[in-house]
Chain A
Amino acid sequence: MSILQSIKNAVRSRSIHVSYIDVGSCNGCDIEVLACLAPRYDIEQYGIYVHNNPREADVLLVIGSVTPQWEDKLRNIWEKIPAPKAAIAIGNCPISGCVYARKGSLTTPPVKNYIPIAAEVPGCPPRPTEILSAILSVAPLIFKDYEEKQS
């Protein structure tokens, strides 16, 4: 491993920029992600920063089953995120559609039909701690030695 790569690894593991996107949820998972910001969980002590801007994000948290408006936009937003990147599905909604995957529904889950998903956090809604640990365990796996794996 080159020196440059090891510096990159060290920096990346302490600076994970997160953007969340709600593609048709009940709001429950939304506010649990928001609760991670609270000083009690203190997401920033792990070097995770929440911006709601896909262009500067490394990790995309996807919440909700896909509604008609997002069918094309989800892919577009995913393409806007610079590599290396990872998407994490939060809650049952993006995994299976939760209660919305029934007859008469307007949604078209799962999210993995639209973008590649690196990790899933089941729960309706999952606890903030679970969301935190998912981000912390997935991000290093994806970002470690990224440049060397490419070449």
Chain B
Amino acid sequence: MTGRCLYEKDLRPLKYNILTSTKHDATVRAIANRLGVSDAKLRRLLIQRLDMSLLENIETRWEMGLRYADDGDPLAKELGCELFSRFIPLLDQERMKEIYEETRALAQEIPFEGAIVRGKALIREAILS
């Protein structure tokens, strides 16, 4: 980015400012906890992938995601399929679908809990990559 450009600006510090608010910070910690990644890493990812209005709204999105995402499908709910692809769009929907299919195949062979753990690891990998 050239310094003389009128409109394009490095937005990262501004996005970070948004996440420092009390509620936003708590939400980021909750998401990091659920995903099993560190707060700082998740914050970096959020800043890279989401736009500013989504970041402002992250608290509501998270609440609504917990309430409405993947109703009626225990496996998808445990993995957080819609939660992390629609409500907090960290992953695109195709990749999420692949992981979901993979985990469902696994769940036929090994016990449910084991499959969930493996599925969650896959999601973490995909998000961090």
Contact = CB atoms under 8 A, between A and B. Distances in A.
Contacts of A69: 9, 14
Interface string A65-82: 000110011001000000
Contacts of B9: 69, 72
Interface of B: 6-7, 9, 13-14, 17
A76 B13 contact: no
6 contacts: A68-B13, A69-B9, A69-B14, A72-B9, A73-B6, A73-B7
B17 A106 contact: yes
Contacts of B6: 73, 76
A92 B9 CA distance: 28
**The 9 A-B residue pairs with the shortest CB-CB distance in the complex, in nearest-first order:** A76-B6, A68-B14, A73-B6, A106-B17, A69-B14, A69-B9, A68-B13, A72-B9, A73-B7
Contacts of A72: 9
A124 B17 CA distance: 27
Contacts of B7: 73
A68 B7 CA distance: 13
Nearest to A68: B14
A88 B60 CA distance: 40
A100 to B, nearest CB: 14
